[in-house]
Amino acid sequence: MEVNQQARCRELAKSSSFYSTVYSEIEEVGWEHLVRAGGDLSFLIFRVLDKKGRVHVMEIQLDKAYPRVPPMVSADVPYVFNLKWSMNSRLKNLVQQFEKHLEKLQAFWSTLDEIDRSLQIVDSKQASRAIPSRQIHVAASKLVLFSMNNEYLRVCRCRFMGLGNTVNSLRKTWKRNVDKWERDKAFLENLECLLNTQLPRLADAETNNHLDECGICYAQYLPIGDELGPQTGSATDYTCENNSCSKAFHSMCLVDWLRSITTTRQSFNVLFGNCPYCSEPIAVKINATKN
């Protein structure tokens, strides 16, 4: 959370009971977990790390009658938990419920991670932990779209796309074997047994062949303008080295963000601080060409 935004929230807290309540409850959760706060504090984004170190973002919408009116929650999960709320509930209770919800999804996400690392995913940019389905290449002109049951870690729906006898044969094989799923087998092993085929693996050179949006400005490319110098229109060029985070940034955005944090240190032309999402140490070179 940027220091100037925290100061703005502190000033708002003096003007009404709503602002005062929200401000005090953010402090209970910890400012280091707050990614962004709306101008009137009715919209908050918190980051939460699960037990595997994966970074999750939870968005909270607050009514002006909060806490009498429960908050609205959205997050990068396949389904949102049933919020338990009372007049005595606080934001820290909401975060705790979210953390318990994340615990239930650990095995599911570990399987999704294995699929994303191993198989040839169609449109991998759109694949996320919130979507319990994947479209994969099986062979030339053959695609399989499958959805996972996040409780039992098995394929609950499978659709084959393509033309010709090979696709029809694959579809018949699936229907013949669909009840042979074994819980003690790994997910990919089960999938290949049911399809009776070896699924193509993702080549190492392809694992990073996609472009991410910046975790600060939420854009893939910087704006085009003379004031940005040679970086005008450039793509994200910095990635957090924490494998559980791997958030992408424009180095220019990251430099601006780090400069707003009082704990950031500078040595020559390098800024040392922490990732805005996972808080792991990061080091970024200052772009001397920026005006």
Tell me: the pLDDT tens digits for 109-121? 888 888 888 888 8
Model pLDDT, residue 95: 96
Model pLDDT, residue 36: 85
pLDDT of residue 236 exceeding 80 = yes
Region 119-204: CATH code:
3.10.110.20
Tell me: the pLDDT tens digits for 5-60? 677 777 776 778 888 999 899 999 998 888 888 888 899 999 888 888 788 889 99
Domains of the chain: which residue ranges? 1-106, 119-204, 221-285
DSSP assignment of 163-196 equals: -SHHHHHHHHHHHHHGGG--TTS-HHHHHHHHHT
Q: Residue 268: enclosing H or E segment and its boundaries?
A: none
Q: Is 277 helix (H, G, I), strand (E, B) or coil?
A: coil
Model pLDDT, residue 228: 63
Two structure tokens written together for 179: 């009840």
Model pLDDT, residue 259: 87
Model pLDDT, residue 208: 43
Model pLDDT, residue 51: 84
CATH 1.20.1260.60 fits 221-285, yes or no: no
Percentage of the residues of the chain whose pLDDT score is greater than 90? 21
Query: Which among 136, 148, 56, 57 is positioned nearest to 111, based on CA atoms?
Result: 148
Q: Which residue has the higher pLDDT, 129 or 5?
A: 129
Architecture of domain 1-106: Roll (3.10)
Model pLDDT, residue 25: 94
Question: Could you tell me the pLDDT band of residue 291, with boundaries at 50, 70 and 90?
Answer: very low
Model pLDDT, residue 203: 65
Mean pLDDT of the chain, nearest integer: 82
Tell me: the pLDDT tens digits for 152-204? 677 878 888 776 677 788 888 988 998 888 888 888 898 889 888 888 887 64
- Distance of alpha carbon 37 from alpha carbon 260, whole angstroms: 16
152 burial via Cβ count (<10 Å: 0-12, 13-18, 19+): exposed
pLDDT of residue 80 exceeding 50 = yes
- Distance of alpha carbon 246 from alpha carbon 174, whole angstroms: 36
pLDDT of residue 230 exceeding 70 = no
| Domains 1-106 and 119-204 alike in fold | yes
- Distance of alpha carbon 105 from alpha carbon 75, whole angstroms: 13
pLDDT of residue 205 exceeding 60 = no
Model pLDDT, residue 213: 80
DSSP assignment of 4-37 equals: HHHHHHHHHTTT-HHHHHHHHHHHHH-GGGEEEE
pLDDT of residue 64 exceeding 60 = yes
